[in-house]
Amino acid sequence: MLAVPAFLFLFNFTALQATTASLAVVAASAAFGAVPRFQLGQVRTRPAVLFWVLGLAGTFAGTRIAPVIPEAALIAGFSLVLVGAAIAMWRKGSRPEPEGIKSSSWWLILFVASVIGLLTGVFGVGGGFLIVPALVLVFGFPFGVAAGTSLVIVALNSLTALMFRADTWHDIEWQVPLIVIVGGLVGSVVASRANLTISQRLLERAFAGLLVLLASWMVIEATVLRGQ
């Protein structure tokens, strides 16, 4: 969620370049984050692969659609995704985690997988805020397992979308996303070992507020400031 705005405003990438570079960052971050989840037994490989396969068509479609979307529209769409993620995180931080109840609605997993694939292909985001509740509902996973499994799905989706976007690679200064990837991995290690006294709910709400602020700024910058 933060990679695309960083590439846009800190490194002056175009929207298409930013969403493509973001895929590399998201894939690496999710894969790195999945390692300890594997060690804790919080990853279900078969459902992850199933979810990825069901979303392949959406991922491919998204990567083909992205280059023909006007830059302002792409930024506006990404801003809506940020707001959606913020709402999901705020709601999660506002109520206790529900018990995982398995549903027979397999059409839901197909729909969500396709939507996530589309979002990943177009906007370069992982979409974990939609994957986790879908895994809880359809497979009955507890949240820890759903979160761990979602990281594998995000990594697979992002890597696939990056491959589908191979025709745009030559436009990107790859040293920039590589530095972001290394910095992000180092930061995640440091943060994971820090003894934070801030509550999880407060962190979730603060991050949700940050996403809304970012979305607002992106819309203002694309529609108002650039027109001056």
For 130-150, what is each residue's pLDDT tens digit? 888 888 877 888 888 988 999
| Entry pTM | 0.85
Question: Has residue 158 been placed in a domain?
Answer: yes
Question: Has residue 201 been placed in a domain?
Answer: yes
Residues 6 or more apart whose CB falls under 8 angstroms from that of 131 comprise 51, 112, 116, 146, 150, 153, 154
212, pLDDT greater than 70? yes
Question: Has residue 228 been placed in a domain?
Answer: no
Structural domain span for residue 129? 3-221
28, pLDDT greater than 90? yes
d(CA 13, CA 10): 8
91, pLDDT greater than 80? no
Question: Has residue 212 been placed in a domain?
Answer: yes
DSSP 11: S
Structure tokens at 79: 């801003």
With beta carbons less than 8 A apart as the criterion, state whether 121 and 63 touch. yes
Q: CB neighbours (10 Å) of residue 91?
A: 13
What is the arithmetic mean of pLDDT over 28-44? 91
pLDDT for the residue 92: 66
DSSP 13: -
pLDDT for the residue 17: 93
Structure tokens at 221: 């910058």
Question: Has residue 38 been placed in a domain?
Answer: yes
Total number of domains constituting the chain: 1
Question: Has residue 227 been placed in a domain?
Answer: no
Question: Has residue 226 been placed in a domain?
Answer: no
